[in-house]
Each structure stands twice: as structure tokens, then as C-alpha cells.
Amino acid sequence: MRRTLIFILVLALVTTLGGALVQAQDDNALVAGVSDEFAGTELRLIFANHPWNNAIQQLLPQFEAASGITLRVESYFEDQLSQRLQIGLTSGTTQADAFMFRPLQEGKLFASNGWVEDLSEYVTRDAEWNWEDFQTATRSTVTFDDFLYGIPIVTEREMLYYRADIFEENGLEPPATLEELEAIAAQLNNPDEEFYGVVIRGRRSPAVTQFSSFLYSFGGDWIVDGQSGLDSPEALEAYTYYGNLLRNYGPPGTVNMSWPEALAIFQQGKAAMWIDADVFYANVIDSTQSVVADSVGFAPFPEGPAGANQYNVTSWALGMNAGSPNKDAAWEFIKWATSAPVVLELQQRGTPGARQSVWDSPEGLSGFPADYAEVVQLQSARGVGYDRPTVIRVGEARDIVGAPIVTAIEGGDVEAAVREAHEAFNAFLETDG
């Protein structure tokens, strides 16, 4: 009896120790490639309030221990982050060595002002880190005229969220094409019961990014050969389709909706389908926020006449301040934060990254619900690398190309609105940059 007890005790001790050892090895794997040649440096980082930030904060102590670099992190909401960065970078002070930013919103502005370091030389330094592993579409988001202005950390794609319970009741499959999408929206739309076929953003500027996949799937594009592409028949068709869909089968007040409003309607169980970025999945399956948490299905963005061309973008990247005195140390950090083991770890904590190898591995998908992971994996391998016009003054451009969306939803003269936007956009492109 006593012997058994001792045996069990020893066994327990060994397993605990072994477990701890394995754990330690795992942790070491995260910082295996980190060099300590910059020990003693202090790096200042500015991050956004974002799940990626929350997740990596927990790994930072390991990097600090391995590299000897001290990290000082500040976090802001995205609009404030943008303002702070712009003032800091304009005034030429080195308040931040590296920072999170939105390549599609600020990248071209930062790059053309010389505020961010061109990283194209840095990414070639370490073959093991493997720049080629980053997905093509996401790499194209952060490159402009051979100027590489950031390393992708978070990616997103447009996807379809649907009410699996209601689809099952009606014997429906999620729509594979835009035609089917409209038909299903019509079938399930029931305004008398305050239940709507589909909800998507309709407010002028915020709607632009979600409209983009419709535009590409009809075969249109924002800019063609440096000129506005809005006058193409495909673009007109896309605007018309989007407007009709939301006017006929969407909730009232769609033209005032950005993602918080559209998300809330879907979370409250008032819509059969919601189309938006795939980053929101955590919000719809969280039962403290969503009354439909248990009955959400995920599907790829429906195919249009020109194919399945949903956007697949780098929504956030890490950039380096061109005026930083600690560029090499900053690169050491960026390289670590975007290395395959760290990206895998972060992806397991629910932040979709940009590395193909992580998407290809089963561990890379383990942090997501299985049906969701399947869709994201499919969509991350294809798609268009931008979800808005790639220009310097993005805000202004979004207002111009977003105007016909509102007209279309309100049932106005889409053709005239598109023609007007086309001219305004051409005039804009002449002065932009």
C-alpha cells in the first residue's frame, strides 16, 4: 500500500516536472530565433485596441527576457492611434519606434511622406523568417511601387454569416452565388415580424469596404489604369444590385448603418444573413452579446458573374518609424512578432494572421470554430488585396465612391449618381499624390 502511494507520488512528480519542461520548451520555441545583441535598448511601441494587441501582450515578457530589449507599449482606439501617429510623425519626434497601423487607410500617406521605413531590404535578411510565407494578397496590401511599408499581422476577408437554424427550417443551403443570395433574402424577408433577409452596412463611407467584394465579383474595380473605373457597366451593375438587395430585403435605416449597427441587428436575431468582415465572428458567437450565438453559420462570400472575388486584406500591419534611432532593434521585434511560431500562437488565440504555413497546419485552425476555419482557410488563399481605393487621401475617396451606394439603397437614379461619382473620382485622382 505504502509502496503504491510512493510510486504514485513519484509518478506525479515526474509528470509535473516533465510537463513543466515541455511547457518551457514550448515557450522557448516562441523566442528561439531572438538575438540578444540589442540588450539594453528601450523600444517604444504604439498599438491599437485590438485582439491582436491583447494576445501579444501576454507574449511580450518572453521576448523581453530573450532579447534584453525593454518594451514600452501604449494602446489607443484606431482613430486616436491614427491622429497620434500623424502628429508624432509630422513633427519628426521619435515617440514610437514601431507601431500598428492600417495599411489600406494610412499606408500610402505614411509611405509617401517618408514616415515609415521601407522594409524591403529587412525582409531579405533572414531566410528562415521567410517573407515568401506571407500570403500574396496580404503582401500586395502593404507594398506600393516596391516600397514595403509594413509587415502584415492581421488579415480579414468578407464573409457571409447566416442563421443556420432558420436555413435548416426552410431547407436552405447558404447561397453560393449572388443570384441565390438575393433569392434567399427575398424568401426569408419578413418585415411585418421585424425580420429581414439580409443586413449589410449602408452608410456612405463605412459601406465602401463591404461593397468592394460585390464590385470585384461583378467584374468592376475602383481604379483602372490610373483612372476611375466607376463608369464600367460592371460597376453600375454592382451598385444597382447592392442597393436593390438592401432596399428590398434589408432593415429600415440601412443608409445609417456601419458595422456596430449591422452587427447589433444580426446579434439580436433580426436578420437571416449578415455580410461583413470575418473578424466579427467572436462577437456573434458570444452569448453575452448575441441572442443567436448558438445558431450562426459561416459561408464564403457568394460568387458573382466574374467569380468569387472577395477582398482578402491585411487590416493591420506593423510599421517602423523612419526616424527611429533603434531601427535594427525595432526590426528584431517586428521579425519576432511576425515569426511563424508567434503567428501560430496568436492565431490559436483567435487572431487570423497572414502566414500560409500557419493556415495550412491543423494547429493554425484550432483556435477557431471548425466551420468558420474552413471558410477562412478557403478565402485566405484567394481574393483581392484591397477593400477600398488605394490612394493617399482615403477618407475623401471613400466619400466619393460611397455616394452611389446610398443613392442605390434609397432607390434614386443610380446611373446619374455613378456618373457623378466617376467624374468626381477622376478629378480626385488627378490631385491625389
Partner 1 sequence: MAEIIENDQLSRAQAARQTETASQLRTRRTVLAALRYLAILIVVFILVFPFAWMLLSSFKNQIDITTNRNLLQFTPTLQNYHNVFQQQNYLQYLFNSFLVALASTVLSLVLGLPAAYGIARFHANWLGVVLLTARIIPGITFLVPWYIIFGRLGLLGSYWALILSHMLVGLPFIAWVMIPFFESLPHELEESARIDGATHFGAFFRIALPLAVPGIITASIMAFIFSWNNFMFSLVLAGDDTRTLPIAIFNFLSYSSVDWGGLMAAAVVITLPVLVMTLFVQRYIVAGLTAGATKG
Written as one letter, the residue type at 45 is L
Question: Closer to partner 1 at the Cβ: 276 or 332?
Answer: 276
**373 and 296 in contact (C-beta within 8 Å)?**
no
Told to check if 264 binds partner 1 by CB under 8 A, we report yes
* Interacting positions 29-88 with partner 1 (CB under 8 A): 48-51, 72-78, 80, 83-84, 87-88
Nearer to partner 1, 19 or 260 (CB): 260
Task: Give the residue among 316, 308, 315 at the shortest CA–CA distance from 334.
Answer: 316
Residue type, 232: S
Give dist(CA 99, CA 70) in Å, integer. Answer: 15
| Shortest distance (Å) from residue 343 CB to partner 1 | 18
Q: Which three cell numbers stand for residue 35?
A: 538575438
CA-CA distance, 96 to 76, in Å (whole number)?
13
Is the backbone of residue 417 left (phi > 0), alpha (psi -120 to 50) or beta?
A: alpha
For residues 356 and 382, the answer to whether their CB atoms sit within 8 Å is no
Tell me the closest approach of the beta carbon of residue 228 to partner 1, in angstroms: 30
Can you tell me the distance from the alpha carbon of 92 to that of 79, in angstroms, rounded to the nearest whole number?
20
Distance CA 103, CA 155 (A): 11
Give me the least distance between CB of 286 and partner 1, in Å please.
8
Q: Is 395 in the site for partner 1 (CB under 8 A)?
A: no
Q: Which of 95, 136, 240, 361 binds partner 1 (CB under 8 A)?
A: 95
Stretch that binds partner 1, among 125-133, 262-270, 323-331, 384-392 (CB under 8 A): 262-270
Binding mask 413-432 for partner 1 (x = CB under 8 A): --------------------
Closer by beta carbon to partner 1, 261 or else 399:
261
CA torsion 86→87→91→92, rounded to 10°? Answer: -40
Considering beta carbons, is residue 241 or 259 the nearer one to partner 1? 259
Q: Which three cell numbers stand for residue 104?
A: 489600406
Angle at 371 between CA 365 and CA 377, to 5 degrees: 50
Beta strands in 127-199 (DSSP E): 143-144, 147-148, 151-163, 196-199
* Binding map of partner 1 across residues 295-324, x = CB under 8 A, - = no contact: --------------------xx--------
CB of 288 to partner 1, least distance (A): 6
Assign residue 77 a region (left: φ > 0; alpha: ψ between -120 and 50; beta: otherwise): beta
**Residue 289 touching partner 1 (CB under 8 A):** yes
Residue 288 makes contact with partner 1 by CB under 8 A: yes
- The CA distance from 311 to 43, in Å, is 34
DSSP string, 361-398: SHHHHTTS-HHHHHHHHHHHTSSBS-SS---SSHHHHH
| Residue 358 interacts with partner 1 (CB under 8 A): yes or no | no
Q: Judged by CB, which is closer to partner 1: 88, or 174?
A: 88
Coil, helix or strand at residue 99: strand
Does the protein bind partner 1 through residue 90 (CB under 8 A)?
yes
Q: What is the distance, to the nearest Å, from the Cα of residue 115 to the centroid of all Cα atoms in its chain?
A: 23
Q: How far is the CB of 53 from partner 1 (least distance, A)?
A: 8
**What is the closest distance, in whole angstroms, from the C-beta atom of residue 371 to partner 1 in the complex?**
19
In a 3-state reduction of DSSP, which class is residue 329? helix
Report, in Å, the least distance between residue 49 CB and partner 1: 4
**Whole-number minimum distance, CB 207 to partner 1, in Å?**
17
Which residue number, 241 or 281, has a Cβ lying nearer to partner 1?
281
- Are 384 and 310 in contact by the 8 Å Cβ rule? The answer is yes
Query: Cβ of residue 223: shortest distance to partner 1, in angstroms?
Result: 26
Q: Which stretch binds partner 1 (CB under 8 A): 114-122, 173-181, 199-207, 281-289?
A: 281-289
For the bound state, the minimum distance from the C-beta of residue 262 to partner 1, rounded and expressed in Å, comes to 11
Q: Least Å distance between CB 219 and partner 1?
A: 30
Q: Between 40 and 253, name the residue whose CB sits nearer to partner 1.
A: 253
For partner 1, the closer of residues 245 and 373 by Cβ is 373
Choice from 122, 149, 162, 280 touching partner 1 (CB under 8 A):
280
If binding is defined by CB under 8 A, does position 93 make contact with partner 1?
Answer: yes
Please tell me the distance from the alpha carbon of residue 97 to that of residue 115, in angstroms, as a whole number: 11
The rounded distance, in Å, linking the Cα atoms of 250 and 243 is 10
Residues that bind partner 1 (CB under 8 A): 48-51, 72-78, 80, 83-84, 87-88, 90-93, 95, 259-260, 264, 267-268, 277, 279-280, 282-283, 288-291, 315-316
